[in-house]
Amino acid sequence: MSRYDKRADLIVHEHEPFNAETGLAALADGPLTAADAFYVRGHGPVPEIDPAAWRLRVHGLVERELELSLETLREGFRERDVVATLQCAGNRREGLIAIRDIPGEAPWGPGATGTAAWTGVALADVLALAGPLDEGAHVGFVGADSSPEAEPVQPFGGSIPLDKACRPEVLLAWAMNGEPLPPVHGAPLRVVVPGYIGARSVKWLERIELRSRPWHGYFQHVAYRLLPEDGAPGPGAGMPLGLVALNADVLSPADGDTVAAGPVELRGYAFAGGERHVARVDVSLDGGATWSQAELL
């Protein structure tokens, strides 16, 4: 066990704030990723939160402002379970950096992703109680952590469109794989937005703000954006990232491994956010010259 009760086989990119990806063997182990193997992406120190004093504020373009304790969330709303993949927008950045450097960003391999069973309440149920006003088109989330990486220094935040927020798979979660949510993963409560880049699944959630426009904070208006080839990062430059783009990787055998002649069982993942389900997987053994459809086991 290392820091934050993580297994020793995590690949640590940064110690403070703690940033580490799931070991490839752990990721290839099965469809669910154990909490002690799950990747961690943080932009500031893990905040210390007293769960008894903690409240979730829901405000902005709503009929009724809410202030909810954990007890009210647990007792006042229907509990739901969702199995969902989180994937950092920086997943597999190592491969991009091999082509052109991305200054100041960690060279994440294919392990900045993981799938867990999350338990909590549907964001939609909480929003229904608050009553979004007609002008409310985006749902903003703010965490309790403060990020010195942001300009100016500010809490981590982001937003998703209201129509996504009202879908039943978007959770306010207090448990991960049947255990209380670990502090490093956002306890006492985090958002889980299946299909969107991990950055929208805000940890240590303190505030939900109904807005007419997308989130204007650093982590959506400046960072986590897609830039044209010759574009420079800056406020509003490029387009905000949203749904995770279709991507895939082979986890085992590892790059450079020698394998015996004959059939080889490959392990890996293919994932696309939103309604674009992965229909098939093709494999090339000759660097992309020819492809054959994989038989999925």
Ligand X SMILES: Nc1nc2c(c(=O)[nH]1)N[C@H]1C(S)=C(S)[C@@H](COP(=O)(O)O)O[C@H]1N2
Interface with Mo ion by CB under 5 A: which residues? 41, 88, 198-199
Q: Find out whether 156 and 219 touch, Cβ atoms under 8 Å.
A: yes
3-class state of residue 243 by DSSP: strand
Q: Which is nearer to ligand X, 129 or 272 (CB)?
A: 272
CB of 126 to ligand X, least distance (A): 18
Query: Binding ligand X by CB under 6 A: which of 115, 159, 177, 201?
Result: 201
CB of 30 to ligand X, least distance (A): 18
Burial per residue of 132-155, b for 16 or more beta-carbon CB atoms within 10 angstroms, e otherwise: beeebbbbbbbbbbebeebeeebb
At position 293, the amino acid (one-letter code) is Q
Query: What count of other Cβ atoms lies within 10 Å of the Cβ of residue 54?
Result: 17
Q: Which is nearer to Mo ion, 41 or 207 (CB)?
A: 41
Q: Which is nearer to ligand X, 192 or 210 (CB)?
A: 192
- Residue located via tokens 């929208």: 200
CB of 268 to ligand X, least distance (A): 19
Q: Which is nearer to ligand X, 42 or 188 (CB)?
A: 42
**What is the spatial distance between Cα 38 and Cα 27, in angstroms, rounded to a whole number?**
8
Query: Binding ligand X by CB under 6 A: which of 21, 36, 145, 209?
Result: 145
CB of 224 to Mo ion, least distance (A): 7
The contact mask relative to ligand X for 79-108 (x = CB under 6 A, - = no) is: -------x-x--------------------
Query: Binding ligand X by CB under 6 A: which of 24, 126, 139, 202?
Result: 202
- Which of these, 231, 216, 244, 83, lies nearest to 154 by C-alpha position? 216
Vertex 57 angle, CA 74 and 171, to 5°: 50
H helices of 51-193, where?
A: 70-76, 93-97, 123-130, 162-165
Q: Which span (118-126, 201-209, 237-245, 280-288) binds ligand X, by CB under 6 A?
A: 201-209
The contact mask relative to ligand X for 40-79 (x = CB under 6 A, - = no) is: xxxx------------------------------------
- Residue located via tokens 């490959």: 266
The contact mask relative to ligand X for 13-42 (x = CB under 6 A, - = no) is: -------------------------xxxxx
Q: Find out whether 57 and 207 touch, Cβ atoms under 8 Å.
A: yes
Residue 113 binding: pick among ligand X, Mo ion, none (C-beta 5-8 Å cut-off by kind): none
